[in-house]
């Protein structure tokens, strides 16, 4: 067992930290206030080639693993950018993995370089309003018509849809009643967001205002058959392929957010004096922060265990789910403790921790709720009967 990062991995973290240092806490607070997308961070990371960190070298990527991608995403979040920064590029890092694995050569050449170079921005449209986590019941349909499909339907929570020109979207191509299994008949497309047929309406939400989330209405969108990824009807399986790395990256981002919140709390606890001594001299302030440190360390170990297993091509479903759960909870607890350490000032925007607390809810809910992770562990690891 080797718990240390390699020199290359440490230099990745240092390079990302250097880029992120250009965007200070005031920048992120400002973006949260205005809701403006952090294009500057996206461009800065694209300029230095970081958006292709886990994409194949043949298409302009760096060909590195999920471990390196997790180091990068954690560093972005931990810089103080939190989920406002991480979510702005999250889709670039691994979102197009279905194209890498299941796309044809023409699609890889057409789709990957523009995303890696930052010329394209893409959103991920799976969740639907009346379906929830029961993804196989999605209603968005794509009807084949010669060399194209005609797509109509509705998505919800599609992040970045205000600023993207591309979307990776799951639609039903065979009616549910005509399939053998509910997972059949779903097809994945990566296509243009033709705004004359796609309308994205921002959902006013609790935090991460710089990165929009939307209701998306699709009405008669012509999707070229050339934009279909892999075989018709197998899209759900293609998405499953990316579930573990997705959870690992979100988990790394959650650890990063928890760490920056904890650092701010510790600093404030040393500086703030009440009753003629620093508040950090009180065990009531110290102990919750010490507990958060331990929880974040433990979660981080699980994140990099899952990432290492994934990069070695080994099964990592339990570890990836556990990492996502533990990191999200640890991140949230650290943000909450940071607010409480600041007392009244924890509630003031000026001290940033209230923004972190609002953002820390995201990895708890996304891309899958804690309940369903617990179900996964209960069923797949402990062998208990399926509850739903
Ligand atoms: C900020 C944000 C950004 C997002 N970005 C995207 C995006 O870019 N693209 C995208 O496709 N989606 C996105 N999502 C959607 C997100 O992935 C879903 O919200 C999440 O998967 C939960 O699904 P749901 O909201 O439909 O919950 P529901 O399915 O409606 O469930 C509601 C609650 O009931 C619980 N529940 C349901 N069934 C069971 C059961 N059998 N047992 C126990 N508990 C159960 C769930 O755990 C959950 O807590 C985003 C969401 C948010 C909040």
pLDDT, tens digit, 9 for 90 and up, residues 126-151:
999 999 999 999 999 999 999 999 99
Tell me the CA–centroid distance for residue 146 and ligand 1, in Å.
35
Biggest distance spanned by C-alpha atoms of the chain: 78
Q: How far is the CA of 126 from the centre of ligand 1 (A)?
A: 11
Torsional class of 77: left (φ above 0), alpha (ψ -120 to 50), beta (otherwise): alpha
pLDDT, position 177: 96
Q: Give the residue-averaged pLDDT of 13-22.
A: 98
Tens-digit pLDDT profile for residues 180-207: 999 999 999 999 999 999 999 999 999 9
Distance between CA 362 and CA 148 in Å, rounded?
Answer: 36
Cα of 202 from ligand 1 centre, angstroms: 17
Distances (CA, A) of 67 to 93, 143, 249, 362: 12, 39, 9, 22
pTM (predicted TM-score): 0.98
Q: Which atom of ligand 1 is nearest to the CA of 387?
A: 41
Q: How many CB atoms lie within 10 A of CB 387?
A: 9
Q: Give the number of the atom of ligand 1 that is nearest the alpha carbon of residue 160.
A: 8
pLDDT of residue 87: 98
Residue (of 322, 360, 354) closest to 339 by Cα position: 354
Compute, in angstroms, the gap from residue 132 CA to the centroid of ligand 1. Answer: 6
Query: For 321-372, how does the pLDDT look when each residue is reduced to its tens digit (9 = 90+)?
Result: 999 999 999 999 999 999 999 999 999 999 999 999 999 999 999 999 999 9
State the distance from the centre of ligand 1 to the C-alpha of 87, rounded, in angstroms.
17
Give the Cβ contact number of residue 127 at 10 Å.
Answer: 20
Question: What residues does ligand 1 touch, defined as CB less than 6 Å away?
Answer: 124-127, 132-133, 157-159, 213, 362, 365-369, 371-372, 388
| Cβ atoms of 161 and 211 closer than 8 Å | no
């Amino acid at each position: 067992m080797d718990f240390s990062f390699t020199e290359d991995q440490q230099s990745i973290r240092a390079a990302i930290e250097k880029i992120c240092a250009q965007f200070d806490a005031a920048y992120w607070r400002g973006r949260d206030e205005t809701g403006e997308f952090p294009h500057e961070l996206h461009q800065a990371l694209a300029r230095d080639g970081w958006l292709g960190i886990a994409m194949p070298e043949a298409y302009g990527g760096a060909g590195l693993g999920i471990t390196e991608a997790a180091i990068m995403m954690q560093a972005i979040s931990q810089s103080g950018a939190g989920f406002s920064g991480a979510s702005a590029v999250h889709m670039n890092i691994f979102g197009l993995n279905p194209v890498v694995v299941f796309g044809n050569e023409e699609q890889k050449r057409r789709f990957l370089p523009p995303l890696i170079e930052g010329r394209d921005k893409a959103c991920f449209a799976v969740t639907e309003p009346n379906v929830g986590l029961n993804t196989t019941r999605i209603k968005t349909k794509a009807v084949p018509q010669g060399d194209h499909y005609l797509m109509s339907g509705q998505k919800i929570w599609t992040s970045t849809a205000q600023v993207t020109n591309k979307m990776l979207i799951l639609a039903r191509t065979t009616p549910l009643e005509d399939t053998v299994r509910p997972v059949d008949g779903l097809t994945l497309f990566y296509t243009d967001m033709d705004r004359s047929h796609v309308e994205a309406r921002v959902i006013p939400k609790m935090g991460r205002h710089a990165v929009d989330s939307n209701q998306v209405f699709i009405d008669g969108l012509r999707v070229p058959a050339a934009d279909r990824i892999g075989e018709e009807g197998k899209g759900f399986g293609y998405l499953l392929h990316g579930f573990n790395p997705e959870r690992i990256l979100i988990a790394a981002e959650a650890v990063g957010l928890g760490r920056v919140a904890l650092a701010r709390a510790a600093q404030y606890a040393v500086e703030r004096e009440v009753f003629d001594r620093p508040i950090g001299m009180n065990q009531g302030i110290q102990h919750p922060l010490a507990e958060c440190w331990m929880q974040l360390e433990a979660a981080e170990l699980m994140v990099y265990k899952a990432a290492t297993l994934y990069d070695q091509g080994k099964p990592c479903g339990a570890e990836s789910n556990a990492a996502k759960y533990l990191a999200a909870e640890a991140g949230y607890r650290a943000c909450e403790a940071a607010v409480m350490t600041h007392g009244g000032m924890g509630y003031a925007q000026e001290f940033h921790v209230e923004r972190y607390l609002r953002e820390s809810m995201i990895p708890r809910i996304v891309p899958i709720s804690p309940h369903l992770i617990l179900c996964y562990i209960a069923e797949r690891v402990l062998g208990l009967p399926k509850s739903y």
